[in-house]
Amino acid sequence: MTPLILVSASATDTERLRKNGPRRDFVELAAALDADVLYSERRSGHGGLWGKVVGPHVRQAWTAAREARRGQVIFADGEHNGLPLLLFLTLRGKRSQRVVMLGHYVSKRWKRALLWAGTRLIRQGAMAVHSVAQADAVRRVVADGWRLELTPYQVDTQFWSTDMAGTRAESRPVFVAAGAESRDYETLAAAAREVEADVVIAGASHWARSETAAQSTPANVTFLRDALGFAELRDLYARARGVVVPLHDVPNQSGITTVLEGMSMGLPTIVSATRGQREATRGPLIRGRGLIAEENLAGRGPHLLVSEASPDAPPNGLYVPPGDVTALARAMRLLIDEPELAARMGAQGRADVVRSFDTCHFVERLREIVGQPGRAGRKT
């Protein structure tokens, strides 16, 4: 039977983001499965008082529960619509329905409680998460009739490519930071004061609704408050020496979109060594004081998600402790002073994402999960 895919963007937003932009993973998945798509409706007045109170994703889950046909697999693109879907299916007497759900930040206590209850109300299904920390947080919560899968996140390596970008020679090195979720741009602005380079922060996000900004920025930092088009961001990456992803120490995979875009553009990444961001960048930890830890960080790198990846492969970037201004400045200076090292890291990153994180790999993995019934006790 034709699967049903819940996409947490409106049809209009999806088309807008898709136009002149990277492949949309769930559009590709829907095509691969010949699935029906239920988009989210973002109009605040939709559905009267009910629509205003519960929000678009809960409305979407209710519609899916109401319209789902017996035996149809329902795929939810996040816990924000997947968790209420489990409750609504139960209320409508559809406990045998199979649900496949992506989990982005399911380690919060109230989400784990809902996941514990929901996966016992609905008898079979699967949850796919993108990080080891999130899998560890919910492994004992998910019911035995459900699969828990570690699935690499994705990037369109065809779109995010220097072959597709315009280039411009720079008089001095440029570092690019992008995105909004859990970003620590205060630390980046402070580190930029100690570096002979320009830093461009594209602080808006197509995906995160929150905004973030540094309170004060030095002269060599440009903070772009309006969202760039995808092609504009690609051209900005093409000018850069490296991509910086400064993060607060959160347990989810915040920053993964920017990390993978930068790697796909052949750039070394400088990433905060958070609890949740550990499965894409592979490289040494740069400390503010003392020697650089030259060995790859234990428990960090693509090998945590992809069996074919080797923990002994060359570095594709650098880690710094969260909130460490001195370490971040030191990492940036390393890429400035050693351009050949930066180029090697960037080439390795490009190879890593093409092999393990491309959109087509993501779609094939989810296609397998959607197509295979849940088995009791089958968990990562």
Q: Of all residues in the chain, what percent carry a pLDDT higher than 90?
A: 71
pLDDT of the residue at 295:
60
Burial (0-12, 13-18, 19+ Cβ within 10 Å), 194:
middle
Q: Is residue 13 part of a domain?
A: yes
Whether residues 242 and 103 share a domain: the answer is no
Whether residues 304 and 184 share a domain: the answer is yes
Residues 6 or more apart whose CB falls under 8 angstroms from that of 170 comprise 198, 239
Whether residues 134 and 57 share a domain: the answer is yes
Instruction: Specify the CATH number for the domain of residue 35.
Output: 3.40.50.2000
Statement: residue 182 has pLDDT above 90? yes
Whether residues 323 and 272 share a domain: the answer is yes
Residue-range definition of the domain harbouring residue 171? 162-356
Residue-wise pLDDT tens digits, 268-326: 999 999 999 999 999 999 988 766 776 666 679 999 998 888 888 999 999 999 999 99
Statement: residue 147 has pLDDT above 90? yes
Q: Is residue 213 part of a domain?
A: yes
Q: Is residue 312 part of a domain?
A: yes
Q: Is residue 226 part of a domain?
A: yes
Statement: residue 14 has pLDDT above 60? yes
Whether residues 364 and 316 share a domain: the answer is no
Whether residues 104 and 92 share a domain: the answer is yes
Q: Is residue 376 part of a domain?
A: no
Do 273 and 320 touch, CB atoms closer than 8 A?
A: yes
Residue-wise pLDDT tens digits, 244-261: 999 999 999 999 999 999
pLDDT of the residue at 207:
42
**Highest mean pLDDT range out of 9-23, 303-317, 341-355?**
341-355
pLDDT of the residue at 9:
86
Please state the domain count of the chain. 2
Do 346 and 268 touch, CB atoms closer than 8 A?
A: yes
pLDDT of the residue at 53:
53
Q: Is residue 380 part of a domain?
A: no
Whether residues 166 and 177 share a domain: the answer is yes
Whether residues 35 and 63 share a domain: the answer is yes
Whether residues 198 and 295 share a domain: the answer is yes
Residue 196 amino acid letter: E
Whether residues 149 and 168 share a domain: the answer is no
Q: Is residue 123 part of a domain?
A: yes
Do 105 and 182 touch, CB atoms closer than 8 A?
A: no
Angle between helices 359-371 and 25-33 (to 10 degrees): 50
Whether residues 141 and 168 share a domain: the answer is no
Statement: residue 374 has pLDDT above 60? no
- Tokens standing for residue 21: 């932009």
Residue 3 amino acid letter: P
Q: Is residue 379 part of a domain?
A: no
Whether residues 192 and 132 share a domain: the answer is no
